[in-house]
Structure 1
Amino acid sequence: MEFRTIVHFPRPAFELMPCERILFVGSCFADSMGRRFQEEKFRAVVNPSGVMYNPVSILHTVEKMEKHVFDTAVFTLGTNHVYVERTTGEIVDNCRKRPQRLFEERELTVEECTGALHESVLLLRKNNPGIKVILTVSPIRYAKYGYHGSRLSKAVLLLAADRLVKELGETAYYFPAYEIVNDELRDYRFYKPDMLHPSDQTVDYIWERLVEACFSAEAKVFLEAWRPVKAALGHRPFHPGSEAYRDFLEKTKEAARTLKKKYPDMELNL
């Protein structure tokens, strides 16, 4: 008997290589996944202008980053709700603690979301013509909208992501993080105590599914080679001043330097 429904999805037409330059922009879920990529020695830039929940705010970040070089961009969509400054009619990314009366809240349409995301890709392509795009919808529910309202918001984002992938073809890929959490990991033990945000265990599981789907064989080999070095560097000794620990640390650093010789793009700060 099967006691859960596994979310099956195809591999993308492209693969992620070791130590790629990746831009993560989006909700706090982008922060969680982006940090994991950084830990695994990808050259990842994560929400350089802060967390951006909606597609227009994602575009605002990309406008500041369009001249940078990236191999892949990951957009994590959180909501279609935006705040508009009443005096200018502009969508703001952060109210900066100004009075709420200065802003009005509205919802982006599927067309507006798709348009903002498409423009983001076009801007990145100016300096990165071969850039790959991964889209995902954050599994985090927004209680303040009500759970029905949260589902409606996610539905708009899902439709926009689907349209963009169809428009961009094989250079874009939708990774179903939203579906994995809501259709596969249905138990509350997969959430943090607020019962809204995915637990660390859930983020680890999504990472495993992403590696399985999107990573090249070479990238998987690199992860296995980096794993023991990463664990050793994170070791907390009982006696940090001992000669035994100094020898252990020097051997670990030498293993890291050896790995960097094989993967020159690996960022290594010892």
Structure 2
Amino acid sequence: MGVLSSFFTNFATMEFRTIVNIPHPEFEIQPCEKILFVGSCFADNIGKRFEEEKFRTTINPFGVMYNPVSILHTVMKKEGESFDTAVLTLGTNHVYIEKATGTVVDNCQKRPQNLFEERVLTVEQCTEALRGVVAALRKGNPNTKIILTVSPIRYAKYGYHESQLSKATLLLASHQLITEQQGRIYYFPAYEIVNDELRDYRFYKADMLHPNEQAVDYIWERFVEVSFSKEAKKFLESWRPIKEAFGHKPFNPESEEYKHFLQKTREKAEKLKLEYPDLEL
């Protein structure tokens, strides 16, 4: 029995997954901040979570941008606008060059494929584009908090090895920029969380490439854990029952009971707004 008891004690303490250690940034995100999200469709997914939690979000205002140069194009179009925080999600180092102009296009706009040439950016080219992003953001607000992530979504059309090479280039460029900025830019390891902690197909959508809602929820929880201030976490707790009440689907929306319920919910929301003036209802 002693041997069996020892076996089951050791078995119970075994870890069956690797947990990514996420360092805290040198800044904290506050309630209802004005946040810009630019990048791959993963930026859309995370940005929508912030939107639901009543942050003042701008999410890919000119469409999804997968590579650092296209992200730079978006940020330059928003140059001069002030954001509290910017979240940049890098998807790929592959770009499409318009042959007639020699410039990177963000969207081919369904024009014939023979008008474009596909190329890959080097680590230095990616880093240079990201330097431009940082400069443009800080023209609008020198104190903008900048968060870099690499999208965990694999690009099957490249082939999985080529997709990994693309991610490696983005990771190296991110590391180079963060090293240069000495703590002024924060890297959040969404790519590592999906590939190391959630390396099971139950965390993917039916295409087996895109993280599903459960995975996005988990990444959101890890992000809140390390980067939100105590006040921001307090706000989330206060907003949650109001959000759930607004999301309630009544059997009879015309009933007096539901109208009274909705009025009470609006009053709670207005009371919360007195505490958080930047809350947009």
Q: Which bin holds the TM-score, normalised by the shorter protein?
A: over 0.9
Matched, 1:257 2:270: yes
Aligned to 1:83: 96
Q: Return the match for 1:38 from 51, 56, 65.
A: 51
Identity of aligned residues (%): 70
Cα drift, residue 168 of structure 1:
1.5
Cα drift, residue 22 of structure 1:
0.6
Matched, 1:131 2:131: no
Aligned to 1:109: 122
Q: For structure 1, list consecutive stretches of 5 or more residues without a partner in the other structure.
A: none
Cα drift, residue 9 of structure 1:
1.6
Deviations 1:133-154 (A, max 9, x none): 0000000000000000000000
* Paired residue secondary structure (2:220): helix
Deviations 1:18-59 (A, max 9, x none): 000110000000000001101100011000000000000000
Task: Give the number of the structure whose alpha-carbon radius of gyration is greater.
Answer: 2
Cα drift, residue 127 of structure 1:
1.7
Deviations 1:183-234 (A, max 9, x none): 1101100000000000000000000000001000000000000000000000
Matched, 1:150 2:163: yes
Q: Return the match for 2:66 from 53, 57, 78.
A: 53
* Paired residue secondary structure (1:170): coil
One-letter identity of the residue aligned with 2:30: M
* Paired residue secondary structure (1:148): helix
Q: For structure 2, list consecutive stretches of 5 or more residues without a partner in the other structure.
A: 1-13
Matched, 1:201 2:214: yes
Cα drift, residue 170 of structure 1:
2.0
Cα drift, residue 124 of structure 1:
1.2
Residues paired across the two proteins, number:
268
Cα drift, residue 4 of structure 1:
0.4
CA distance in 2, matches of 1:157, 1:115: 12
* Paired residue secondary structure (1:213): helix
CA distance in 2, matches of 1:81, 1:168: 25
Q: Is the 8 A contact 1:14 1:170 kept in 2?
A: no
Query: What is the TM-score of this pair, normalised by structure 2?
Result: 0.95
Aligned to 2:20: 7
CA distance in 1, matches of 2:218, 2:17: 15
Q: Return the match for 2:189 from 176, 192, 196.
A: 176
CA distance in 2, matches of 1:137, 1:219: 24
One-letter identity of the residue aligned with 1:74: V
